[in-house]
Chains A and B, each alone.
Chain A
Amino acid sequence: MNWRNKVRMALACLLGTFFLLALASELVAPYSYARQFRDLPLAAPSAAHPLGTDALGRDVFSRVLYGSRVSLLLAPAAALLATVIAGVSGALAGLRGGWWEKTILASADLMMALPLLFVLLALRATLPLDVAPLLSAAATFALLGLLGWPASLRVVWAATRNIRESEFLTLARAQGIGPVRMVLRHVLPNVRPVLQAQFWVTIPVFILAEATLSMLGLGVMEPLPSWGNLLRGLEDLSALRANPGLLSPLVLLILVVRGLQMLLPPREELAS
């Protein structure tokens, strides 16, 4: 095992541990994410509250753990959904060309032209109000996944076009393989690095989109934390001065996203 693989293994262990901690947040977190210590609003980090407290006196460490569970489970799930939609339809468009290509790209353009936030606002307005917070969070990420694929689609389509005239696809066509099988067996494995990159890139985008949606009442509802609504704490600079621990969700987001990117096979490996 070379040093690069060792680093990747160590990173994988670290992220895995963190993932497990987040999953077991109910056991690990010292307090409930909703409990308010009203005598200690914006308390600096201490033994009782390792990352301090927020403006309502809630333990930031506990909220980060619970919030990680929501974001680390739901953002990748939404990113996976978006990548699958983008992968299949992008590959089909790139492979078939003609009317298939025009129709799929036009629908992607249409989706990109739609003001996503307003679409989500309209959808949220039609949902019932008495939805459990976790279900509301899941619905939010599902909507993000269902609406967030067009940008990835264009990348996959461009990658597929590059291999459309390749020998192995010509041979597959000559053998009479159908388009669906060709996409699943021949195209997608060959654009896998592109799909992986799109997947990892989309995760932080969706986490931040969820933060924006939370501000519009579409994201994860209080008091359930997510990285998105925890990041809203950064709006208040005076609060940050009082408790720098409020920066922890941002630090965590950067670490996890960077860690996930480092776990990807290096460029030369992908090229080979």
Chain B
Amino acid sequence: MRRCVPAGMLVLLCVAAPACAQNGGVLHFCLHGEPKTFNPILVDDEAAENIRYLTGGVLIRLNRQTQTLEPGLATSWSVSKDGRTIRLKLRKDLHFSDGTPFSSEDVAYTFKTLMDPQVHSPTGDAFRSGEGAVEIKTPSVDSVAITFPARVAGLEQLLDQVAIMSAHSAKKEMAVLGPFYVSEYRAGSYVELARNPNYWKRDAKGQALPYLDGIHLDIQRNRDIELLRFERGELQLINRLDAQSYKRLEKENAAEVHDSGAGLDSDQLWFNQNPNAPVPEFKRAWFRATEFRRAVSLAINREDLIRIVFGGYAKPAYGPVSPANQFWFNSALPAPRFDPQGALRLLAQVGFRFANGELRDRAGNAVAFTLVTTSGNAMREKMAAMIQQDLSQIGMKVSIVTLDMPSLIERMTRTFDYEACLLGLVNTDLDPNGQMTVWLSSGDNHQWNPNQKAPATEWEAQLDKAMREQASAATEQERKKKFDEAQQIIYEQQPFIYLVNRDVLTAFAPTLVGAAPTVLTPQAFWNAEELRLAPATAGKAAQAAAQQSAVQH
């Protein structure tokens, strides 16, 4: 008779499932690499960044869902008109995970260490806006004023990356203010995070957060094994799936997967315009012609790329900012078009002639170039093959060469021995200042012609001006206006031909309660402190962990 549960009761049970979620239990998921450090100011890789997010207490937190700033360790703050000084009021009576009291001295210690040139902090680089030292004043235990030598644009948002360290704890950087602390680490195997009993945050009912007892992070580079373990119930979430795995899980249980829409990452191609590159002069002249680049952009069928390569889980890219970046995206930019005839008209304007399926320039040179991309990346290789066919429709002959990443980087940054390149850009920062080295003509990452002493073209000079003005503008609205101008220039000139923004795809076990994936990192567990496990899952995960532990021992 146990099978004869009335349908209504089943529905009731399903709806009640979240309510059945209990505090405690250990959440299991994977890191896709070895964390290189647990020191929050030295973080330079994704795995370490994830651990910093889960363990670090920050003064101001960027809410990944609303993309707005929220109080963290600081209850309120104000930025001076010149954009150099930020004054923060801190929470009182807080303690680090080891019981050491938190005060403004810890904030001062953290920023001194962060800005110390000897430390070489990648996080600190974002604050280095000018020559000179940082001044930190601590008028009381719960207030601090930090003054930078020059304006730091988007200063408040940058604080989301700075985990405060204890000035006095014997545990140094291992004493944390975040929801979890690192309790165990086995190199190459796992990182165990335990609930921080001194975490300050509480839910709406006044209950202490986090709900979970801990998080077990397996270090697993192989995505197939991760997927298999998720299917077996050993993991409760996967942060960022590829389209193929997403489809596979969707077939098994559509409720387990989530498509958050276009993310911040983009795939793009660009032409080498570097005057010192070993590229024939007539080819460089093509690459420098705006009409040539715009024609290439028009001739690429982005919808086909999305449908065939990404299984529909991507969006056409407009420009340097994804529509997922709600504030900074310039919504006035027109959607990218597929128009091979329009491409040919543009090319005709600058002397190219299309005849017998072949495109020739004014001097009679057949238009042919080599497109390099990374080897072993099936999606990018497919994209290259499709671009090759699309461009053949307007008479361009494209040869595809795949190279291992070190060889490709060598060509991009040292020898400049390539003609066109297809790559992806991983973007974790909403603020345009994170892209300064890409757009300033003097920037290292100004890939089409890096490290220029003076802007090589008029539009690059305009772009430099717009980027500098947005960085020094007094208000966010003024910055937005200037960055909109920069986006418009980039859209018109197409130094990077943006192709797609991949969707953010995540997977959650049905019994994980409170998951609300976003497009910003860390997509699937940004609200880890509010995640809960249903009782069955907590038991099953513990059982799986015990089995695994037994095997390991």
Contact = CB atoms under 8 A, between A and B. Distances in A.
Q: Are A and B associated in one complex?
A: yes
A216 B382 contact: no
A215 B376 CA distance: 5
Interface string A206-223: 000000000111000111
A258 B288 CA distance: 54
Contacts of A223: 385, 388-389, 400
B244 A217 contact: no
B302 to A, nearest CB: 13
B228 interface: no
Nearest to A127: B401
Given A125-B403, A217-B401, A217-B404, A222 B308 contact: no
Contact of B389 (A34, A215, A232): A34
B307 to A, nearest CB: 8
Interface residues of B, number: 30
Interface in A107-138: 121, 124-125, 129-133
B401 A221 contact: yes
B304 A38 contact: yes
Majority secondary structure, A binding face: loop
B410 interface: yes
Interface string B373-396: 011101001101110110000000
A129 B404 contact: no
Q: How large is the interface on A (under 10, 10 to 19, 20 to 34, 35 or more residues)?
A: 20 to 34
Interface in B107-160: none
A238 interface: yes
A238 B308 contact: no
B220 interface: no
A217 B20 CA distance: 52
B308 A217 contact: no
Contact of A216 (B375, B389, B417): B375
Given A133-B399, A217-B404, A236 B244 contact: yes
A215 B380 CA distance: 12
Contacts of B402: 216-217, 221-222
B407 A129 contact: no
Nearest to A216: B375
B304 to A, nearest CB: 5
Contact of A56 (B372, B386, B400, B410): B386
Quick one: which of B304, B307, B401 has the most chain A CB within 10 A?
A: B401
B382 A56 contact: yes
Contacts of B248: 238
A57 interface: yes
A55 B386 CA distance: 11
A125 B410 contact: yes
A36 B370 contact: no
B418 interface: yes
A56 B244 contact: no
A57 B385 CA distance: 11
Given A55-B382, A236-B378, 19 more contacts: A35-B389, A38-B304, A55-B308, A121-B407, A124-B407, A125-B410, A129-B370, A129-B372, A129-B417, A130-B399, A130-B419, A131-B399, A216-B376, A217-B404, A217-B407, A222-B388, A223-B388, A223-B400, A236-B244
17 contacts: A38-B307, A38-B386, A55-B382, A56-B308, A56-B385, A125-B407, A125-B410, A129-B370, A216-B376, A216-B404, A217-B403, A217-B407, A222-B384, A223-B388, A223-B389, A236-B244, A238-B247
Interface of A: 34-36, 38, 41, 55-57, 121, 124-125, 129-133, 215-217, 221-223, 232, 235-236, 238
